[in-house]
Amino acid sequence: MFQSMITAVNSDEGYTEIVRAVVEGRYLKPVFSVLRMGENSLEESTKVFMENNTIPADEIFVTAFHPRDVVFQHLEIPRVKSTKNLLNVASFKAASQFSLPPDEVNVACLNSIASLKSGLVPAFVITKRKAVFEFISGLTGKSFPEPNIVDVKPFSIFKMAQTSVFEGNNIVFVVDRSYSLLLT
């Protein structure tokens, strides 16, 4: 009777795509999509989307921002037992490295705790908290709810490969204005 829905916004300089899909098990079935190119693409695509859709409060809302706003870095971190402790230590270390207060830094680990226990030096995505808030404010100012997930482009594509979405032999080619990826 009730179906889980997900809305994704992919916006960058010169283009915006908004897709809404039904979640059925492991599959997403698109039910609405709008793509606009040009300088005002976010405003135009948002207008078309909002004329045809509403986003309930319980719907999953996902977006990603451009990697120009982040730093990717390996940090030497002492062994910790939980992800929360890992992120606290990494946040403090990254903040001191960039001469910022720890509460102005957002840190996300690209490795799992299990891989870190094997001695791997963890890689982190580091960004200023202000950049994330400005990005989210830009979306909420256009009548979107606050996102459940904010990712960094193109890591959402890498995560698909880790979750075995692609079984068998596949070639995925992704082109963006700033980068391109070829995954096999």
pLDDT for residue 177: 60
Q: In the structure, what pLDDT confidence band is assigned to residue 43 with cuts at 50, 70 and 90?
A: very high
pLDDT for residue 74: 86
User: Would you list the domain boundaries of the chain?
Assistant: 4-65+132-183, 67-130
The DSSP letter of residue 34 is E
| Percent of the chain scoring above 70 in pLDDT | 82
pLDDT for residue 169: 57
| Section 2-24 average pLDDT | 86
- Most confident range (mean pLDDT) of 15-24, 64-73, 117-126, 155-164 is 15-24
Task: Look at residues 63, 44, 45, 46 and name the one whose alpha carbon lies nearest to residue 6.
Answer: 63
Give every CB contact of residue 94 below 8 A, 6+ residues apart in sequence: 73, 75, 105, 107, 124, 126
pLDDT tens-digit series, residues 138-175 = 999 998 999 998 888 765 544 444 444 445 555 555 56
**Straight-line distance from the first to the last Cα atom of the chain, in angstroms, rounded to the nearest whole number:** 38
pLDDT tens-digit series, residues 47-76 = 999 999 888 888 889 998 888 888 888 888
The architecture of the domain spanning 4-65+132-183 is: 2-Layer Sandwich (3.30)
pLDDT for residue 85: 87
pLDDT for residue 77: 82
For the chain, the average pLDDT equals 81
CA distances, 183 to each of 64, 109, 159, 171, 173 (Å): 19, 22, 12, 6, 6
